[in-house]
A and B are shown apart, each in its own frame.
Chain A
């Protein structure tokens, strides 16, 4: 038989038994839908995971804070400890294996002043040598602090905050100002309430003459400013000199202990190892890896379960196709016999039934793909109560902001093809043995049977 005749005859036969064909196709539709949606949710999880990593920093970063929370093996909080973060500790960590870069971190708070306007300032002080190792974002203008000039203050994309009137004539009608970092004259000063100023000294005001600004990252960087540690120590000394004698000593002491130590490990796989070593030294540390690990594992298990369900439903539809084909062959025994006597070669009979089975798979696959796009759309639109918790678990640990536009289900281009391919293959495989059986039918016996 010609291919065109095979196709026509097969379609006609499927059409002849409409209800049964539809029911069998439905099985494939469900199986295909299940597999595509499962994988698409997996992709959704991956995407949101990537997003979180982008938002909260690198997976290879470990931080040590002045307060270390202690967790047991199951991740339950069991207590905490004060931790002294000293220069010594930094050097000890620097000497460890797999540590690529390490820096102390000091958070400083104060104000930016520009004429009659001011704005809150929060600056992270770090060793200028680590900016590169920590893969800091690119700059729109300016340069990161370097050995030649360490005085640059690097602003995140959304920094500084909007300036407002320091002493407005009316609090009901506060004026705001858009400050241009490169043109306007801006000063930084430390918060006044912490230490007493020596009244005979002039208030410490740092003119921001050397600034840089990062491109937008949609991450933490956008809301911080950064300063080099060495430069900070220099200006801090100047600041301390403006304080009363008592407070000067207290303020100076702050330089001995850091608020945080940040380090970068050469490979994701070594994060745990390094954290364990730091623990041996008596310090609790944090890493994104440590929080995301349970989420990654949970999502992997979940995907595995989904995939298993998809496979089961495909298996069920395979049985259903095989059943349909066996039924169809049983009913068409006489027809097959007549065809054989009229000179139909065995190969054509086999092809005919394989084609019918494959066609059921194909039609089911096409409809399944269509439905899975619909289902994906619905999941993304209304699936928040169900999938929100699942996808955003990592975020909740880290107190992450709710992301406005989350895709729980993402269908990449290959996925419909995969779904369709699986459906057709399932159809062909489950049609194979019935088709073989059809070819084995003896013409003489088939002709003797009644319709």
Chain B
């Protein structure tokens, strides 16, 4: 049942409508996300791409319910994520969302295995079962021999693999990843990206990833270009066409867009693990 519904590509799993986020620093107002609307389809690998400070992370955090909207609406699986109670949101995260962070955000006091187990602990899963799942997950990311290692005893790449194992262990429908390879070298970055994409595609999971790296954006099915808190353009790499929002049509140029699409189509087979 679940797999079937995940296969249903036309369904919008996330709907962002007129999302706006304004930070107030004293008297100054910083508009981090400025009236953004888009949808994410089930099973899609979406990339939020843009320069530093453009508001990608803010948008991601808004979608994950970590950050509160100033205006607008974000629906995940038909639930208004901003309206949820704290407890409801926590339960929702346990069951539906996974997170991969740039700085890994592993608990340094725990072993790799315990870190991966953690989301399942919050779900009241019994020890034996979650141990098995976590171990299998770590084996899947190639860390079968590092189960008992603490994060401080592992390389950045290894730590991020643990982070990925943790994000996917509860088999969430959506995984949010904020610059998952931001602290890694390019080779390791590609390995990590392959891992994420491979896992997501295997389980028909939806990925929303933030990056400022053009090469990494190419892994995505669709790329949303963000500039100054607004959507500059949306590049659908599978269809090979570019949809432009009204306002970005004036700002950006069509030539640039086509170029990116071509690049994306070239790049994709090279890095695709399948």
Question: Given A16-B109, A444-B66, A444-B67, A343–B122 Cβ distance below 8 Å?
Answer: yes
Partner of B90, one of A4, A12, A343, A451: A343
A347 close to B (CB within 8 Å): yes
Question: Which B residues have a C-beta under 8 Å from some C-beta of A?
Answer: 61, 64, 66-67, 86-87, 90-95, 97, 99, 101, 105, 107-109, 118-119, 121-124, 126-127, 166
- In the complex, what residues of A have CB within 8 A of residue B105's CB? 334, 338, 341, 447
- B99 — which chain A residues lie within 8 A by C-beta? 341-342
User: What residues of A have a CB within 8 angstroms of the CB of B61 in the complex?
Assistant: 444
Contact among A5, A339, A347, A447 with B87 in the assembled complex (CB-CB below 8 Å): A347
Verify B107–A335 contact, CB threshold 8 A: yes
User: Which residues on B sit within 8 Å (CB–CB) of A341?
Assistant: 64, 66, 93, 99, 105
A344 is an interface residue with CB less than 8 A from chain B: yes
Q: Which of B87, B109, B122, B127 has the most CB of A within 10 A?
A: B122
Q: Given A1-B121, A1-B122 in contact, is the A340-B107 Cβ separation under 8 Å?
A: no
> In the complex, which residue of chain A has the Cβ closest to the Cβ of B105?
A338
How far is it, in angstroms, between the C-alpha of A1 and the C-alpha of B120 when the chains are bound? 9
A447 pairs with B101, CB closer than 8 A: yes
- Apart from A9-B121, A342-B93: 10 A-B pairs, beta carbons within 8 A: A2-B126, A4-B127, A13-B109, A340-B90, A342-B94, A343-B97, A344-B122, A345-B86, A345-B91, A444-B66
Q: Which residues of A contact B66 (CB under 8 A)?
A: 341, 443-444, 447
- The smallest C-beta distance from B172 to any residue of chain A, in angstroms, reads 9
User: What are 30 residue pairs bridging A and B, where the CB atoms are less than 8 Å apart in the complex?
Assistant: A2-B121, A2-B124, A2-B126, A4-B127, A5-B121, A9-B121, A13-B109, A334-B105, A335-B109, A338-B107, A339-B118, A339-B122, A340-B90, A341-B66, A341-B99, A342-B94, A342-B118, A343-B90, A343-B91, A343-B93, A343-B94, A343-B95, A343-B119, A343-B122, A343-B123, A345-B90, A346-B90, A348-B122, A444-B66, A451-B108
Query: Which residues in window 413-451 of A have CB below 8 A to B?
Result: 443-444, 447, 451
Question: Are A1 and B90 also in contact (CB < 8 A) when A335-B107, A342-B118 are?
Answer: no
**Interface 1/0 per residue, A316-357 and B, CB below 8 Å:** 000000000000000000110011111111111000000000
CB distance from A117 to the nearest CB of B (A): 86
Q: In the assembly, what is the distance between CA of A9 and CA of B118, in Å? A: 11
Given the complex, which residues of A lie within 8 Å of B123, measured CB to CB? 343
A345–B61 Cα distance when bound, in Å, is 18
| Complex contact B109–A344 (CB within 8 A) | no
B107 pairs with A345, CB closer than 8 A = no
Instruction: Identify the closest chain A residue to B66 (Cβ).
Output: A444
Report yes or no: A342 in contact with B67, Cβ–Cβ below 8 A. no
Please state if A344 and B90 are interface contacts (CB–CB under 8 Å): yes
With A338-B107, A444-B61 known as contacts, the answer to whether A346 contacts B122 (CB < 8 A) is no
Q: What residues of chain B lie closer than 8 Å to A9, measured between beta carbons?
A: 121
**Which of A2, A338, A339, A346 touches B86 (beta carbons < 8 Å)?**
A346
Shortest Cβ gap from B115 to chain A (Å): 9
Question: Which residues from chain A contact B121 at a C-beta distance below 8 Å?
Answer: 1-2, 5, 9
Q: Chain B contacts of A12 at CB under 8 A?
A: 109
**CA–CA, A346 to B122, complex, Å?**
11
Does the CB pair A342–B101 fall under 8 Å?
no
Question: What residue of chain A has the Cβ atom nearest to residue B126's Cβ?
Answer: A2
**Measured CA separation A16–B108 after assembly (Å):** 11
The complex places the Cα of A346 from the Cα of B93 at a distance, in Å, of 13
By the criterion CB–CB under 8 Å, are A342 and B119 in contact? yes
In Å, the complex CA distance between A346 and B108 comes to 21
Q: What residue of chain A has the Cβ atom nearest to residue B61's Cβ?
A: A444
